[in-house]
Structure 1
């Protein structure tokens, strides 16, 4: 057997909710960027799942067709030697003149499919309708998408219409291109359950095969779901027609996600309310099996084996994607690839693994029911307007070329670690900083973090712990960043793959009279680290500041704005930027601003909220604008960029520009506290700080790092904080005369 192939896919859903259409191609910008296909080709992809969608080509009338976009892109793919697998309907209900419950849907769809084949007779692979079963569930059983039905008869009708439409579409396509192959996709999971609900699990485990079974003509009177289908108003004639005129998939396309396996449990009290549902017999929770401590997921390898054995045709993983942190994306792709590679070596007919969602996806966290612009990064990050290759892209190129993957990708993902389970609710973990596992277990490749006593260093350690990234957190005694011999000794001992420098001089005002110490820690130290990392080929990131700017710009500063600091601290940071990048052009330099975090008291937001909770006066500058940065967001974004091999200067801050007084007021509102009359805004000139401060150092990024809003970050700060900001009991008694009665009750 030949090598396992790498295929790709671009999330292209056009679904409808009410009268609103959600278009992934428009959201990702791919609708307007032909050049995306060149960066996709650079991965070494053999085939690309690609849309020629009904809703795009003929949105208003079946005879009013526009082929310009599709022609340009399919011809480009042909020039790039990539075979397209053309999709005609992707989680959609069709244009406005039809829907999944339209009795004429199959014939209308087949007519469109024939038009596509006439336009592109050289195309040989089609997925006419992506995931018919999943689309029928979401549109006609759960009511999430148009036409928003919620009953078994509608679900069965929607599924049948898509299957019949696929059958007729392939017949029409093969009239033009006889050798055309059907690549039929659907989500293939597995349902686990308590003994009480095993009957429901059995039903759903039969149901998961329905798209392929119906097309293959397997659903005859002996099929386990024959009675269910006919009892849901699907005629025996319709079913027997599929039996007598099968249209089996030439390639089975398995879409499998971490959440594809489910667990059903009637003990509702153990699970959040949003997981509760019911059938005609029981109420039960439906949760991700991977999150249940007592459940062992079947896993993709076994499910691929089942599909190979059931249909005896080639099988492809047609969607491999995980919306998660960068290293977890890499681990998932690596695990899926390994599963396919193992089975292929065992003689199973597994052809390829498809890196799905190459350009990312939008709003799947709400199952495409809300247009919030929530972005899940793909193999490429498109937030800057131009696709930027992430660590996942580097990994895929290596896998496709048969090369070894980055060691981070070979470590177990969260779904394989002991902390995967949420049910039953896990015991609260104790804080653990330092080296999480023995050096021998790390293969001598941890992440090295300086600044063990600082807010940022400890946050990196905590988040590395959560993300399964082996690390060593160093104190100054472990390594003096400005001492070359000390740095050499530490790097020799730990052999890190990357070094994160969070150490430095942070006292902005003291720096005016202590410039020697400031420059030693903020300039000489990072430059020393950069030189050693350059010599050893170790990735390196260090942190700069918004105070490299003079504050004369009215708008937020971006990476290309010219720095001009007004104080010693800012000058030490700017000199570090210049000298670090001169010593190590591949270094990553993060400029950030006014950070606050939930795990210590050393930040402005904490002190403001504590003052308001205790009804104490709080002074804040009213005319200096900054962009507050939430430490967990900063750390997570930095780790992603580090894994992506990003380099140069990046601005990383949350979205929003505030004065210090406005930030204090917003924090109070989010916390449900009263800022007035305790908040005392003052002009910056009245504070009489030793170090000059710019009037505006707000940050924005041209490179596409867009953290959540400051308001969103403040909500998470309150949720994650280890301190509860509530007024003292005495204050509550003064505010509410009924307090004592309520307390007694």
Structure 2
């Protein structure tokens, strides 16, 4: 007889760790309004997304055939056309769908999570799905039932907006019963159908005083799996709690009589899911304060306070394995952050899964979640304000203003997924640096030893350090606004860099450039240097051309020779302002002054000598970290009670420097090349920009004096309209948002 564990080891040795993926597909209800991620991300109308997904090499995809979308008006009125087309295409592509029926939802309007008939109603829908698609083998009837029950029945965020323990318990048991009945119905059609049951297993840490609450919540987090596995007996700690909430014995005994253990336990792991409870409320913001009726305490993200760092994914997987001895998959791996941090987190989770497989744990797959990104999860999808997190693909790849539909653009994560799926080790140099969850800057509050405070709870990881010196990003322009901003934000993002002055590397000197590239061996170079005095350029064109055109050309040739990526900057002043629609990347250049000519020449030379270069046109800087940009100078004058003169007839697209740097770094990491336009979305005259800044700061906007450009005494001719649009992507925020964050940062700075 072959033992269970030896069978698992055979499975592990014969089959590689799989890469799965998933589309964020939540359809949740708030009041009478449904929030549909598939409509927001456009996948509802883009069949060819599936071909993009197939190019990643994924084996399976968590895919939504959602009850609310397919049969909102009853099963007899169901529209199967969308599901049939998508599932059929997945079958042709050889991708195994893991079909989801309810994803943080509450069903159509005629039911809810606390409807006693919810389980039977979902089971009828599940049977109908199985009958139409009998070849589908994997199902997740309800995603994260415990998490959904908390948000819908305990915290009141989602419909039916319960705020008590009984509503939570009813919602949880209703969903778990629906899972069991749905799988029974599905297996009557397809006996081999497998249940991939997902849950967020965030762990709770606490001070010694609140250990009792942490222990309770850490037991409760397993409740959906325990119910399905038939483990909630009268001796189970949650039995008494559920009975106290108002659940009767017959409801609990039903699960003992109808066990439905998962075929694969799906763990959705997020950095912010782990929490720390602390009765010292004064240490934390008021929004984190709460209590349990016995004690009042703050509830904060553990990673922001635990001295040991974030919980190790291996510990969470091992806990699930030791508790159930069932196959495991990471069914969501995602972090809302900068691109390199997304890469680091996915690879850390993948590595943890691989290490456990080597130890005999049956880990089947890691799922790259949020293929198309997600909308408004920073507010738990309780409102629709357009907050977008990119994922494996970025949807902001075509200009909305141009009328074109969004088209998913593969990010650096897509390349990593392709590598993992093909069995290749990802080699991006930024993976050598630990993620923010391991670095000291993650700590927002006084550090606490979670291991010590939590009375021996296990599962917290330790600080990670890089085993080698990472290949740096070379930044040219140590004395300029842009160069210093790159250095500041690289420090924040954990990107190893070298900020060089002209003395350290003169980009107009071939020998100087080659010496630096040979010695430092950077993975990329950012050229943030440049001649920026537009009027002076008319008097010394040879100096301007040397710095702005000859230098970038020499740098491009050297980077091409050394196989180093290059990011360099151009300007809106390559255009003449003869049009009154935003300029896009494909528009012909026609500069009016020497400075614009130097930038236009640089673009041509750089892309000829190093076609893989990324050339970013931008416009009209303002930012919180220098004293010489237009907005800062205007506010300084206005705050002193002076008037401020600005052009009333020159329309520009101002650019908030931190947004520009963050976005440029993301594009560079993604391996983008060619021309890109980056400016905050909006068109405004210089005088109106000064008035907007004055109004936001609380100064009198009438002290801004608006004059025609011709009366300002400028030497160089400038276009009256140089607004930047894009046919590659509107990936910068709007001007109002940028201005608001400018003031917030100025107050901090």
Assess if the C-alpha contact under 8 Å between 2:434 and 2:466 holds in 1. Answer: no
Aligned CA-pair RMSD: 1.4
- 1:293–1:440: structure 2 CA closer, same or farther, 3 Å change rule? closer
1:442 aligned counterpart, secondary structure: coil
1:638 alignment counterpart: 664
Assess if the C-alpha contact under 8 Å between 2:142 and 2:179 holds in 1. Answer: yes
Q: CA deviation at 1:294?
A: 3.6
2:526 is the alignment partner of 1:504: no
Assess if the C-alpha contact under 8 Å between 1:289 and 1:295 holds in 2. Answer: no
1:704 alignment counterpart: 729
1:55 aligned counterpart, secondary structure: helix
Q: CA deviation at 1:177?
A: 0.6
2:410 is the alignment partner of 1:399: no
1:136 alignment counterpart: 149
Q: Deviations over 1:226-250 (max 9, x none)?
A: 1111111111111111012100000
1:420 alignment counterpart: 442
2:335 is the alignment partner of 1:322: yes
1:196 aligned counterpart, secondary structure: coil
2:507 is the alignment partner of 1:481: yes
Q: Deviations over 1:187-239 (max 9, x none)?
A: 01110001111111111100110111000000010111111111111111111
2:716 is the alignment partner of 1:691: yes
1:290 aligned counterpart, secondary structure: helix
Assess if the C-alpha contact under 8 Å between 1:461 and 1:471 holds in 2. Answer: yes
Q: CA separation in 2, counterparts of 1:588 and 1:62?
A: 52
Q: CA deviation at 1:359?
A: 0.6
2:210 aligned counterpart, secondary structure: helix
Q: CA separation in 1, counterparts of 2:158 and 2:621?
A: 40
Assess if the C-alpha contact under 8 Å between 1:630 and 1:654 holds in 2. Answer: yes
2:586 is the alignment partner of 1:560: yes
Q: CA separation in 1, counterparts of 2:419 and 2:118?
A: 44
1:494 alignment counterpart: 520
Q: CA deviation at 1:512?
A: 1.0
Q: Deviations over 1:253-291 (max 9, x none)?
A: 000111111000111111011111111111111111000
2:640 alignment counterpart: 614
Give the alignment's TM-score, normalised by structure 2.
0.93
Q: CA separation in 1, counterparts of 2:746 and 2:667?
A: 26
Q: CA separation in 1, counterparts of 2:274 and 2:553?
A: 49
2:234 aligned counterpart, secondary structure: coil
1:94 alignment counterpart: 107
1:213 alignment counterpart: 226
2:209 aligned counterpart, secondary structure: helix
Assess if the C-alpha contact under 8 Å between 1:334 and 1:410 holds in 2. Answer: no
Q: CA deviation at 1:403?
A: 2.1
Q: CA separation in 2, counterparts of 1:294 and 1:327?
A: 23
Q: CA separation in 1, counterparts of 2:156 and 2:383?
A: 14
Q: 1:456-605 counterparts in 2 under 5 A?
A: 456-605=482-631
Q: CA separation in 1, counterparts of 2:110 and 2:589?
A: 57
Q: CA separation in 2, counterparts of 1:294 and 1:499?
A: 35
- 1:579–1:249: structure 2 CA closer, same or farther, 3 Å change rule? same
Give the alignment's TM-score, normalised by structure 1.
0.94
1:713 alignment counterpart: 738
Which residue among 685, 689, 693 is the counterpart of 1:667?
Answer: 693
1:343 aligned counterpart, secondary structure: helix
Assess if the C-alpha contact under 8 Å between 2:619 and 2:653 holds in 1. Answer: yes
2:680 alignment counterpart: 654
2:408 alignment counterpart: 387
Q: 1:78-89 counterparts in 2 under 5 A?
A: 78-89=91-102
Q: CA separation in 2, counterparts of 1:296 and 1:354?
A: 23
Q: CA deviation at 1:103?
A: 1.1
1:623 aligned counterpart, secondary structure: coil
Q: CA separation in 2, counterparts of 1:723 and 1:337?
A: 37
2:8 alignment counterpart: none
1:318 aligned counterpart, secondary structure: strand
Q: Deviations over 1:676-704 (max 9, x none)?
A: 2x210101111121100101111122222
- 1:424–1:439: structure 2 CA closer, same or farther, 3 Å change rule? closer
2:345 alignment counterpart: 332
1:307 alignment counterpart: 320
Q: CA separation in 1, counterparts of 2:94 and 2:623?
A: 49
Assess if the C-alpha contact under 8 Å between 1:598 and 1:722 holds in 2. Answer: no
Q: Deviations over 1:70-101 (max 9, x none)?
A: 11111111111100000000000111111111
Which residue among 24, 34, 37 is the counterpart of 1:24?
Answer: 37
1:225 aligned counterpart, secondary structure: helix
For these two proteins, the number of residue pairs brought into alignment is: 711
Q: CA separation in 2, counterparts of 1:326 and 1:296?
A: 21
Q: CA deviation at 1:488?
A: 0.5
Q: CA separation in 2, counterparts of 1:227 and 1:163?
A: 18
Q: CA deviation at 1:141?
A: 0.3
Q: CA deviation at 1:44?
A: 1.1
Assess if the C-alpha contact under 8 Å between 1:670 and 1:711 holds in 2. Answer: no
Which residue among 182, 187, 191 is the counterpart of 1:174?
Answer: 187
- 1:410–1:423: structure 2 CA closer, same or farther, 3 Å change rule? same
Q: CA separation in 2, counterparts of 1:274 and 1:619?
A: 43
Q: 1:278-289 counterparts in 2 under 5 A?
A: 278-289=291-302
Q: Deviations over 1:631-671 (max 9, x none)?
A: 00000000000000000100111111110011001111111
Q: CA deviation at 1:401?
A: 2.2
- 1:517–1:554: structure 2 CA closer, same or farther, 3 Å change rule? same
Which residue among 218, 221, 235 is the counterpart of 1:222?
Answer: 235
Which residue among 355, 366, 372 is the counterpart of 1:359?
Answer: 372
2:432 is the alignment partner of 1:410: yes
1:376 alignment counterpart: 389
Q: CA deviation at 1:705?
A: 3.5
Which residue among 458, 462, 469 is the counterpart of 1:442?
Answer: 469
1:728 alignment counterpart: none
1:168 aligned counterpart, secondary structure: helix
Q: CA separation in 1, counterparts of 2:486 and 2:180?
A: 54
Assess if the C-alpha contact under 8 Å between 1:499 and 1:540 holds in 2. Answer: yes
Q: CA separation in 2, counterparts of 1:179 and 1:88?
A: 18
1:680 aligned counterpart, secondary structure: strand
Q: CA separation in 2, counterparts of 1:392 and 1:196?
A: 42
1:323 aligned counterpart, secondary structure: coil
2:88 is the alignment partner of 1:61: no
Q: CA separation in 2, counterparts of 1:560 and 1:232?
A: 64
- 1:696–1:425: structure 2 CA closer, same or farther, 3 Å change rule? farther
2:173 alignment counterpart: 160
Gaps of 5+ in 1: 427-437, 725-745
Q: CA deviation at 1:722?
A: 6.4
Q: CA separation in 2, counterparts of 1:493 and 1:100?
A: 63
Q: CA separation in 2, counterparts of 1:148 and 1:7?
A: 33
2:292 is the alignment partner of 1:266: no
Q: CA separation in 2, counterparts of 1:692 and 1:137?
A: 62
Q: CA deviation at 1:465?
A: 0.2
1:63 aligned counterpart, secondary structure: helix
Q: CA separation in 2, counterparts of 1:683 and 1:251?
A: 69
Which residue among 348, 369, 375 is the counterpart of 2:361?
Answer: 348
Q: CA separation in 2, counterparts of 1:659 and 1:135?
A: 48
Assess if the C-alpha contact under 8 Å between 2:305 and 2:447 holds in 1. Answer: no
Gaps of 5+ in 2: 1-12, 398-405, 449-464
Q: CA separation in 2, counterparts of 1:565 and 1:352?
A: 54
